[in-house]
Structure 1
């Protein structure tokens, strides 16, 4: 991202948070940046386009924070807590912009914004799913989707207090507290003879509402996964996949062959599923 583009986005976010999206004009944004309207339109075709860029910028700041965490030597529990703290910190930092979005009902302001918000939701759900599987293992599999949706509800409820009621929490303590509640729920689910409410089939049908992953999403996931694994053979497989996906014309037989090396690797199931979804290989 160019410095001027970043400057426009940050100025727009600041003004949207203070004045509201509807009340902020492009002229005010360019005045805050010290640029002309012509320069603005070199980067953004409209104020709506700037809002979408602001959503992406905000989400990418969270992704960057998560990617920068030193989690290679952490346990799954420690990793989840570190990642949840980072997520909460970034959201808290941008709470005024979030308040504006909700008050003005800017979501969805158009189909592009709606799709991007769905993408964020899918990313968060995937993060929780992967974390819960690593923490509780295969015994939680029948209830993983119910546990995931409950976790999202708990996090959202505390975020509501932080954003709207200006509650102040020790985010490390809060993250530990939330994980302990997941321990209670997971133990109860595993002891239970109940049937889960959410099943894999239902979630699969629901996922059709969400946008397809982009190449950049797949490559980012592969890069992040490579940094977390020790097995050299698996790391080489991921490097081959990464190089193949970066090609202008990825060779599907090569990708399918490499994905075969990831079978029966629970820690790599998430990245394997993402690649299969991107290339529509799931039903083959």
Structure 2
């Protein structure tokens, strides 16, 4: 990203947070950057285009924070707590902008913005899904989609508490506390043997609403999964998959063979599904 483009995005974030999206003009943005409108339009064709860039910029900052964590030799439980704490810290850092989004319901959503918001939601759901399976294993697999939904709801409620009520919360303590509540839920599900609300078929129908993954999405998820995997053979399989996917002309039989090696690994279900969706593989 060019320095001037970054400057425009950061000015947009600041002004949108202070004044609201609708009340901020392009003229105010360029004045804050010390550039002309012509220079603005070299990078962004409209204010909506800038808004999309802001979403991408902030989401990338969360991804980079998670990717930079030192997770070697940590258990799946410790990894999730560290990642959730980092995610909450990044969200809180941008709280003024997020509050603006919540309060200002009139932000015009073009198809690109709507698709990217769905992608952000999908990324968060995938992160929780993989983490829950890594922590609880096969015993929670039946309930993982419901657990994911409840986990997102609890986290969202605490985020709103911190933002709107300005509650001062220790993020490491909160992350640990939230995971402890997942322990209680898993124990309760197993004890009751109740049928889940969110079945595989139900979730597969919902997944059709979300945008197709791109190559960068797939590679990033493979790299993140390697932090949770301890088996050398599985790590080698993931490395081979990543190398093959990065080729200009990936060999589908090789990819299918590698997917066969990890098909029984619960923690890699979401990655397997993502790769199958990306290459439009027949999973029947």
Q: TM bucket by the smaller chain?
A: over 0.9
Match of 2:34 in 1: 34
Maintained 8 Å contact 2:65/2:86: yes
- 2 CA distance for matches of 1:247 and 1:241? 10
Change (3 A) 1:136 1:240: closer
Maintained 8 Å contact 1:108/1:114: no
Change (3 A) 1:256 1:106: farther
Aligned pairs, how many? 284
1:140 is displaced (CA, Å) by: 1.0
Which deviates further from its counterpart, 98-107 or 126-135?
98-107
- 2 CA distance for matches of 1:104 and 1:189? 38
TM-score, normalisation: structure 1: 0.94
Maintained 8 Å contact 1:140/1:186: yes
1:90 is displaced (CA, Å) by: 0.5
TM-score, normalisation: structure 2: 0.94
Maintained 8 Å contact 1:107/1:114: no
Match of 2:269 in 1: 269
Match of 2:99 in 1: 99
Greater length-normalized contact order (CA 8 Å, ≥ 6 residues apart): 2
Structure 2: where are the runs of 5+ without partners? Answer: none
Match of 1:73 in 2: 73
1:282 is displaced (CA, Å) by: 4.6
- 1 CA distance for matches of 2:44 and 2:242? 31
1:227 is displaced (CA, Å) by: 5.0
1:93 is displaced (CA, Å) by: 0.5
Alignment of 1:188-199 (within 5 A): 188-199=188-199
Match of 1:247 in 2: 247
Alignment of 1:1-284 (within 5 A): 1-106=1-106, 109-284=109-284
1:91 is displaced (CA, Å) by: 0.5
Structure 1: where are the runs of 5+ without partners? Answer: none
